[in-house]
Amino acid sequence: MELSDIQSTIPDIRINLSRVGVRNVRKLVEVARVGKRPAIFISKFDIFVDLPGSLKGANLSRNFEVIDDVLQEAIGGEVKEIEEVCSRVARKLLDRHEYAERTEVRMESAYMVKRETPVTQTPCHEVVTVHARALAQRTSREPIIRKSIGAEVTGMTACPCAQNIMKDHAMMVLESLDMEKDKIEKFFKEVPMATHNQRGKGFLCIETDDDQHVPLEDVINVLKDSMSARIYELLKRGDESFVVMEAHKNPRFVEDCVRVMAKKVVGTFGHLPADARITIRQTNEESIHQHDAYAERHATLAELYAELNCE
Amino acid sequence: MELSDIQSTIPDIRINLSRVGVRNVRKLVEVARVGKRPAIFISKFDIFVDLPGSLKGANLSRNFEVIDDVLQEAIGGEVKEIEEVCSRVARKLLDRHEYAERTEVRMESAYMVKRETPVTQTPCHEVVTVHARALAQRTSREPIIRKSIGAEVTGMTACPCAQNIMKDHAMMVLESLDMEKDKIEKFFKEVPMATHNQRGKGFLCIETDDDQHVPLEDVINVLKDSMSARIYELLKRGDESFVVMEAHKNPRFVEDCVRVMAKKVVGTFGHLPADARITIRQTNEESIHQHDAYAERHATLAELYAELNCE
Amino acid sequence: MELSDIQSTIPDIRINLSRVGVRNVRKLVEVARVGKRPAIFISKFDIFVDLPGSLKGANLSRNFEVIDDVLQEAIGGEVKEIEEVCSRVARKLLDRHEYAERTEVRMESAYMVKRETPVTQTPCHEVVTVHARALAQRTSREPIIRKSIGAEVTGMTACPCAQNIMKDHAMMVLESLDMEKDKIEKFFKEVPMATHNQRGKGFLCIETDDDQHVPLEDVINVLKDSMSARIYELLKRGDESFVVMEAHKNPRFVEDCVRVMAKKVVGTFGHLPADARITIRQTNEESIHQHDAYAERHATLAELYAELNCE
Amino acid sequence: MELSDIQSTIPDIRINLSRVGVRNVRKLVEVARVGKRPAIFISKFDIFVDLPGSLKGANLSRNFEVIDDVLQEAIGGEVKEIEEVCSRVARKLLDRHEYAERTEVRMESAYMVKRETPVTQTPCHEVVTVHARALAQRTSREPIIRKSIGAEVTGMTACPCAQNIMKDHAMMVLESLDMEKDKIEKFFKEVPMATHNQRGKGFLCIETDDDQHVPLEDVINVLKDSMSARIYELLKRGDESFVVMEAHKNPRFVEDCVRVMAKKVVGTFGHLPADARITIRQTNEESIHQHDAYAERHATLAELYAELNCE
């Protein structure tokens, strides 16, 4: 039986499509590492091509063949970094979908990171959500590829505004108990006052050309150091008091977190090209509200650099 | 054309089924209230009957007719309370599914509650998740019906353990600054120390016979008063400082929240029969961890009463 | 006690922020309708302003006052359509955040729509997800406002490719049973062959200037008529056979659904300005896969019009 | 500084707690396999102990030490099966929480299974959700442990009722075209008629004593063979037509799927003790509705056996 191929016929309505493809394709991605066990990413992929108005359908099963090829290369050690996975897939898709001008691959992964707690150095794990994406555009020569790597990290934020009010209150009480000004000051230096604090989620994503290298570990570290305190899955008593103290010594609004990240991005990734696109987001799951507080910045590296140098 | 009715044939495999029905049926439930605008519940229903091994299928479209009847009665003012909706549906399902011995209806609703903030008395809303359920069992006389009404409420919890450590630290500092013991004590009475705090979710559900009345508003109030502080969607500065102060004056472990609820349940619902089944749960979205802390108790009202009186 | 206002101080890092605000604010929106009960939308709002580098924080509680004002106007009959809610809020936010150049409001709502089944005309409900958004940009004169209204509707899609294979097979069988060509043709005209079918989710969103009117009901109808068949919550036997027949008479790829929507958009909304921005998406929850099939188009109305007239 | 230990004090309200612990603890579980790469499970754990009314709090950080120990043993090859992970943790928790009478561990994991497509034998992956659980009860001798292993698998279901209606219609048409009765019968034998079909989710869980072995792969196979057809992530044309044909040759109600599973459970796991507890559930994401169809059975193996032998 000769199977008819409806997809390659001309459709009744010849509208171009911006994206055609598959979503929520789940894969285990193993990236080989020299001298270590492979890094494992539990990933969900979205894979798209554009489709001209002259074709009824795209052949979606090709997407699976391409992604399986690249994942095999990753296990084999040919793909060196998680950020390479998407751009490899995007590039190969252009070969397999000869009618497409653009291909796009998005990946969202759960990734387990090993840590040590700050005081007792107890080893523990945390989950980071990794986001990667690549866009390939066909040209008369080599395709142009832009790729992004990003992460979402959970930390702790403490509110400076409520802390200030609590401090004003404590000062009044200490004054009424006849403590001297300079001792009060010494006290507040050693003992940060209470405030509401909560889980915060920082997100940072960096888009560059395909030949740039943006280490995932650096992205994660910028995020972890931009909230009021790092958090851990396992805290012994000494660790817990350290984390709570840290958070209260570094109270930050949702706006502050984004600005600290922006500054750290310029410090950490300053060697990247000026047109690198930076997206920063912070969501605080406010403990005093049911809703979340949110701040965001997107800009080129050059724009962030210029704003910082105006200060 | 005579339509064949496969459902009423004898199946190849004559296994009884515990539950057959529909899930995730979304409905707008309006319960008329005297002198007020109707209470509106955005609800998702699961509706089940049991099925004997002698029948191939249940007629699921009857479930929709029954639920629509009851929702119509609610708008018309015939159903007086949200807790009545499920038991009415369960009872009518027994009539419509003559082969069933048991029927079960579960409802999960978003419900908007109006509040005033604690200091500036600003009006605001919060969302409460309402859970209701009814089980009807056919007997040779009237069916036996058990119904539950419950809610999940978001509040704030503050950790007593970390607060204690912070207090020990503050005491050491105050002592080193030569403050006298009794003044230190006075200070701590007025100024609670910092700790990690977070969103907590309290859940309380009460199962009784159909003729008991368990006001939803009482369930919600027990929950709101059992965490470290109530929270609000809109807080002016004075309200915010009040909420933060409250939370730090009432630090509670996840275990404490459940025990406070248990005590308040006995106080508020002591008139219910001894066999009323109580389920209490508290989940704290720990700001120092990615995971949640959790505690739970289920018991009859009589059991809770006995434990409280042993103290 | 004079409360200090940290938000209005100058931040250490003077980076501009693209969006600062609140997310997941849940509200019940009631839009009064002449001669009918009000339309009820269970909504989640995100509300943002931009923030200059010279300000440490935005005053987020103002967002709540503005939204509550507008929701009050909606109940009072002053807001005539759901699409107006977001643009009113966005406009008022510019007044309340004097430092902001841009404000943005996004709403996602569950909305219950009443329907009648196709054959037995039984009344039933379905849930539609409504999306609305408004952007206000401050200028030296009146602010420029762009607003969008959109919806996501669930329907049924049947695959033309698998159906074609099943038809080839059936034809072979009919030929082997000596049926004549013209009778075979008559048969296939009356009896569509089997294929895999599934839940499909169509999404359409239209962005225009604030003075345009895009009726939500028209958006929903375009979506419902673009998949293989409309679906219903309650189907009596005659209705069910009608829906299954419809779906199999109109097999459509995910790509086809988007193209049919594009054509219907031009037919239904042709009177809108040429720069109206159209976003169309279709997701098919493939019954033969764990992943979803997806197609998307975004374009101006003018671009869609041009492509359709090239055919 | 001597840290105070609030948890071990006597609480104000001496209510017993049924469960105290942590939820949503995410871990990567690697179970070593002889001659193969380790099986990888991306897991979420809930870990509980009971707490007497005489203790204010449980020491939750011990839970993390225990789970990390066991996961290390799994990598080391000491834990032979995924079903062993939970019971090992539950047993060790009894040692570490000397005040607890009961411990409980629940695990939910994403697990990638390798398959070959039915016709072209193309290799592909699918995700299975694995559920495991263990309960340990302290006694004067060895603890009593009950453990469960289960899975949720996605497949395809096709509705027998709508197919019957479509067949009646096709028969009428064939008769009107003067086809003979026996040829019509032959035709229907070769060509199954259309019906609505959809993603179905089958769930099977088996609870036994700790010394029984219930292979996960057997649980998955029972589920995959109980819906109308197995599904695959990558289907070449020949595979797709096979899957669609299979589904239409095996139309099954949600009730049928549960009964087929029950029969297969007795066939596959008949060697387990009579008191093994079986839970079976099927959810069909109906393509003609927004809601889901659902059926469920829980029973001992002995009960299922008795019902099957009554036929």
Q: Using one digit for the tens of pLDDT, what is the confidence trace for B220-273?
A: 999 999 999 999 999 998 999 999 999 999 999 999 999 999 999 999 999 999
Q: Which residues pair with B200 in a beta bridge?
A: B155, B284
Asked if pLDDT for residue A310 goes beyond 80, the answer is no
- Look up the CATH architecture of domain B17-159+196-309: Roll (3.10)
* Residue reference for tokens 């919600």: B220
State the nearest Cα–Cα gap between D304 and chain B, in angstroms: 7
What is the reported pLDDT for A37?
A: 83
CA distance A308 to A207: 20
- The pLDDT-based confidence of A2 (bands split at 50, 70, 90) is very low
What b/e readout covers C116-145, taking b as 16+ CB neighbours within 10 angstroms? ebbeeebebbbbbebbbbbbbebeeeebeb
What is the reported pLDDT for C80?
A: 83
CA distance B59 to B289: 48
Helices C254-268, C301-309: axis angle to 10 degrees equals: 110
Mean pLDDT to the nearest integer, A64-76: 89
Q: Which CATH superfamily is domain D13-159+196-309 in?
A: Urate Oxidase; (3.10.270.10)
Inter-chain touch D287–C156, beta carbons under 8 Å:
yes
One-letter amino acid of A235: L
Torsion of CA D111, D114, D117, D118, to 10 degrees: -90
What is the reported pLDDT for D32?
A: 87
Q: Judge whether B290 is closer than 8 Å to chain D, CB to CB.
A: yes
- The pLDDT-based confidence of B311 (bands split at 50, 70, 90) is low
Q: Say if CB A203 and CB A262 are below 8 A apart.
A: no
Asked if pLDDT for residue C2 goes beyond 50, the answer is no
Among A258, A146, A275, A280, CA closest to A205? A280
What is the reported pLDDT for B10?
A: 92
User: Which residues have C-beta within 8 Å of that of residue A135, sequence separation ≥ 6?
Assistant: A90, A102, A103, A104, A145, A146, A147
Which residue in chain C has the smallest CA separation from D233?
Answer: C289
Q: Judge whether C287 is closer than 8 Å to chain D, CB to CB.
A: yes
- The pLDDT-based confidence of B112 (bands split at 50, 70, 90) is very high
One-letter amino acid of A263: K
CA distance D257 to D252: 6
pLDDT in tens, C19-78: 999 999 999 999 988 888 889 999 999 999 999 999 999 988 888 889 999 998 888 888
Mean pLDDT to the nearest integer, B93-116: 95
Query: How deeply is C3 buried, as exposed, middle or buried, from its count of CB atoms within 10 A (0-12, 13-18, 19+)?
Result: middle
pLDDT in tens, B172-194: 999 999 999 999 999 999 999 99
Inter-chain touch D231–C289, beta carbons under 8 Å:
yes
Give the rounded distance of the alpha carbon of A258 from its chain centre.
13
Span between the terminal Cα atoms of chain D, in Å: 73
What is the reported pLDDT for C97?
A: 94
In chain C, residues with a C-beta closer than 8 Å to the C-beta of D286 are: 199
**Cβ within 8 Å of C, A 245-284:** 253-256, 258-260, 262-263, 283
CA distance D234 to D239: 9
Q: Which residues pair with A207 in a beta bridge?
A: A148, A277
Q: Say if CB B56 and CB B10 are below 8 A apart.
A: yes
**Among the listed ranges A137-141, A306-310, C189-193, C208-212, which one has the minimum average pLDDT value?**
A306-310
D50 phi/psi in degrees, rounded to 5: -90, 160
Inter-chain touch A244–B126, beta carbons under 8 Å:
no
Q: In a structure prediction context, what are the per-residue pLDDT tens digits for chain D, which is 311 residues long?
A: 334 578 889 999 999 999 999 999 999 999 988 888 889 999 999 999 999 999 999 988 888 889 999 998 888 888 888 989 999 999 999 999 999 999 999 999 999 999 999 999 999 889 999 999 999 999 999 999 999 999 999 999 999 999 999 999 999 999 999 999 999 999 999 999 999 999 999 999 999 999 999 999 999 999 999 999 999 999 998 999 999 999 999 999 999 999 999 999 999 999 999 999 999 999 999 999 999 999 999 999 999 999 998 75
- The pLDDT-based confidence of A36 (bands split at 50, 70, 90) is confident
Neighbours of chain D (3+ CB pairs under 8 A): A, B, C
Domain C16-159+196-309 has CATH 1.20.1270.10: no
What is the reported pLDDT for C311?
A: 58
Among B152, B287, B290, the strongest candidate for a mutation testing the A interface, having the largest count of A CBs within 10 A, is B287
* Residue reference for tokens 């080893």: A123
Q: What percent of chain C has pLDDT over 70?
A: 98
**Every domain of chain B and the residues it spans:** 17-159+196-309
In chain A, residues with a C-beta closer than 8 Å to the C-beta of D61 are: 234-236
D138: tokens are 């302290």
Whole-number average pLDDT of chain B = 94
Q: Judge whether C126 is closer than 8 Å to chain D, CB to CB.
A: yes
Inter-chain touch A48–C169, beta carbons under 8 Å:
no
**Cβ within 8 Å of C, D 177-216:** 177-179, 183, 186-187, 190-199
What is the reported pLDDT for D2?
A: 39
Q: How far are the Cα atoms of B33, C39, D60 from residue C33, in angstroms, in the given order? A: 21, 7, 55
Q: Judge whether C304 is closer than 8 Å to chain A, CB to CB.
A: yes
What is the reported pLDDT for B3?
A: 42
What b/e readout covers A16-49, taking b as 16+ CB neighbours within 10 angstroms? bbbbbbbbbbbbbbbbbeeeeeebbbbbbbbbbb
Q: Say if CB C29 and CB C71 are below 8 A apart.
A: yes
* ipTM score: 0.93
CA distance D311 to D306: 9
Inter-chain touch D248–C186, beta carbons under 8 Å:
no
* Residue reference for tokens 């509401």: A196
Asked if pLDDT for residue A1 goes beyond 80, the answer is no
Inter-chain touch A197–B192, beta carbons under 8 Å:
no
**Between residues D80 and A290, the one the model is more confident about:** A290
